[in-house]
Structure 1
Amino acid sequence: MNLIHPLKIGSFTAPNNLVLAPMAGITDSPFRVLCLKGGAGLVCAEMVSAHALHYGNEKSGRMLQVNPKEHPVSMQIFGSDEATIAEAAKNAEARGADIVDLNAGCPVKKINKAGAGCVLMKDEAKLGRLLEAAAKSVKIPVTLKTRIALTHKELLGSRLAKLAEDCGCAAVTLHARAAVDVHSGAPNIEALSEACAAVKIPVIGNGGVLEADTARKFLEAGCAGVMIGRGAIGNPFIFKDIINAFEGKEPVSKSPEKRLEIYLDLIRENVSYYGERIGVNRSRKTAGYWIKDFPNASEMRGLFVRLDTLAEIEKLFAETLARLHA
């Protein structure tokens, strides 16, 4: 079985079937660019509020910006009103998104109180109306991202996948855990397999993919693609690592030297995109994922978080890399 292959989503085809998940505060433009360099076939932007876009929120508007370097990209929107969802989908299409995705799986209370995210799993009629509104408003493919269940009492994955298909969606991403699990527990591979068998559109499996073995299980269960979230935060090259593992090759990103080189690339992307002050500040948030597992890593982290300029950071990384190579 050829596990890595192009991923066709409606009229669009991604070069491979490994996808970066949308993650709030993480999958901004610089990170998406780096994940494409790291082998992702498709990258997804952090979710944007349709309601905020409707009322002209500047921050939300900026989140729809698409860097020419980050294609193919899926723009995720969330909301509870058909008119604003349709408007947001059109906005994403106009800004250059290749795909627009509707979130109906986020368990965050703030999102749920607004009638969006995983609470839409309780009202399939409403979710269907939102999906139809989005699908009818744009020419690019519309997809749904949801979960296999709200609680462990009832699996909903197959039914929600069929709903997405019937409402004009070109694909569905299923997080293989219940909403109550958030990000803990093993993914339910059997539930994914059942959903794959229930529909003709591609099902992309998501949840708990940290290495090639889990990705392989998803694909062998019938998933057309695999979406990776938290596993990519400290390793945007996890996509190439999985491809290499399937081909019997060594991973490209496991050594501390390679990890620091990739992190420095991300810092430079952040500075280029946001400017030096904001770019450096954003880079500090994920330092713990990158600067670890080598001698004096904690000392380097302590120095790094006190630096304010790219030149200072580049000097620190050069000195650390020289010691590691030695």
Structure 2
Amino acid sequence: MPYIKQLKIGDFVCPSNLVLAPMAGITDTPFRILCLKGGAGLVCAEMVSASALKFDSPKSIKMLQVDKAEHPLSMQVFGGDAQTIAEACKRAEAQGADIIDINAGCPVKKVNKAGAGCVLMKTPEKIAEILKAAVKSVKIPVTLKTRVSLNRTENLAPLLTKIAQDSGAAAITLHARAAADVHSGPPNLAFLESACRVAQIPVIANGGVINAQDAKNMFETGAQAVMIGRGAIGNPFIFTEISSILSSRPFGKIANAEKALMFLTLIEENVKFYGERTGISRSKKTVGYWLNGFTNAAAVREQFVRCETLAQAREILSVVTKEN
């Protein structure tokens, strides 16, 4: 069975069906470009508040920026009001997004209090209203990202899949965990498979994929694509790794020294994109992932979280490179 192949979302064709998940505070332009180099067929931006865009939030406007090196790109927006979502979609399209993704699965309380994220799963008709407005507002494909259930017992996946395709969505991403589980526990492959059986649009499977076997399990439910989130942090070449293994091609593990150099490159790009202070600060969020398995990882991580300049980061990582 050929697991790795092109992914068609509406009229848009992605070179492979391994997708980078949107992750708040992580999947910014520098990281998205790195994951495309690592073999991702599509990268998704961290979610942007439609309400914040309505009020011209400088931070949110910056999040819509698209670099010419980061295509194919899906821009994710969230909100609870259909018209506000539609206007946000127009802005994302104007900035160069290839696909628009609507979030109806985020379990974060701040998002849910705004009537967005997984709270929308309680009123599927609201999801339909939002999707129809979004689809009508742009010429590029619109997709939906949600979860298979709110709790572990009630399977909403088939219903939400039907609503997505009937509302004009070009694909649906299903996080195969309940919203109540957030990011813990195994994915519910049975719920995921039930959605794939009724789907007439591509189902992109998400939730806990950290290796080729996890991806294979997702594909065998009938999903046409697999989305990878935390498994890509500190390992942006996971897409090439999974593609190689599932295609029976050799793949050499990346040495720790090479990972350290890759992380340094990402830090340098963060500094270029945000300026030194913010660029270094954002890099600290993921240092634990990058140094996982390194000699004296805990001590090096402690050093890194105290550094304030690019020069200090370079010095710390140069030592790590020599020791690993």
TM-score bucket (shorter structure):
over 0.9
Cα offset, 1:254, TM superposition: 4.5
| Percent identity of equivalent pairs | 58
Kept after mapping to 2: 8 A contact 1:78/1:102: yes
Q: In the alignment, which residue of structure 1 is the partner of 2:96?
A: 96
Where in structure 1 are there 5+ consecutive unaligned residues? none
The one-letter code matched in structure 1 to 2:117 is G
In the other structure, the counterpart of 2:128 is: 128
What is the Cα deviation at residue 277 of structure 1? 2.0
How many angstroms apart in 2 are the aligned matches of 1:151 and 1:290? Answer: 33
- Computed over aligned residues only, the root mean square deviation of the Cα atoms, in angstroms, reads 1.4
Contact 1:237-1:252 at 8 Å conserved across structures: no
Q: Measure how far apart 1:174 and its partner are.
A: 0.4
Q: Does 1:271 align with 2:271?
A: yes
SS at match of 1:205: strand
Structure-2 residue corresponding to 1:57: 57
Question: 1:296 offset after TM fit, Å?
Answer: 2.6
Output the amino acid matched with 1:145: K
Aligned to 1:87: 87
Report the secondary structure of 1:173's partner residue.
Answer: strand
1:92-115, Cα deviation, whole Å (9 max, x unpaired): 000100000000011111111111
Q: Distance in 1 between matches of 2:170 and 2:266?
A: 32
Local SS of the residue matching 1:65: coil
User: d(CA) in 1 for partners of 2:41 and 2:249?
Assistant: 19
Is the 8 Å Cα contact of residues 232 and 238 (structure 1) preserved in structure 2? yes
Query: 1:253, 1:259 within 8 Å by CA — same for their partners in 2?
Result: no
Aligned counterpart, 2:199: 199
Once the two structures are TM-superposed, the CA of residue 307 in structure 1 deviates from its matched residue by 3.0
Shift of 1:281: 1.6
Per the alignment, residue 113 of structure 1 pairs with 113
* Structure 2 segments unaligned to the other structure (5+ residues): none
**2: CA distance, partners of 1:247 / 1:83:** 44
Instruction: Show the counterpart of 1:179.
Output: 179
Q: Which residue of 2 aligns with 1:7?
A: 7
- Where 1:69 maps in the other structure, the secondary structure is coil
Question: Which stretch of structure 1 is more off in the superposition, 145-154 or 302-311?
Answer: 302-311
Does the aligned pair in 1 maintain the 2:257–2:322 contact within 8 Å? no
- The count of aligned residue pairs is 324
Shift in Å, 1:251: 4.4
Distance between the aligned counterparts of 1:89 and 1:129, measured in 2? 14
d(CA) in 1 for partners of 2:251, 2:175: 25
Q: What does residue 262 of structure 2 align with?
A: 262
Looking at structure 2, the residues matched to 13 and 149 of structure 1 have their Cα atoms a distance apart, in angstroms, of 29
Cα deviation, residue 312, structure 1: 3.5
SS at structure 1 position matched to 2:306 = coil
TM-score with structure 2 setting the length:
0.96
Q: Is contact 2:64–2:75 with CA below 8 Å preserved after alignment?
A: yes
Q: Is the 1:235–1:253 contact (alpha carbons within 8 Å) kept by the matching residues of 2?
A: no
Cα distance in structure 1, aligned partners of 2:27 and 2:281: 16
Q: For residues 7-46 of structure 1, what are the structure 2 equivalents within 5 Å?
A: 7-46=7-46
CA contact (8 A) 1:93 1:138 kept: yes
The aligned residue for residue 157 of structure 1 is: 157
Q: Is the 8 A contact 1:237 1:253 kept in 2?
A: no
In 1, distance between residues paired with 2:152 and 2:258?
41
Task: Name the residue aligned to 2:78.
Answer: 78
Contact 2:25 2:282 in 1 (8 A): no
| Post-superposition CA distance 1:117-137 (Å, at most 9, x none) | 111111111110100000010
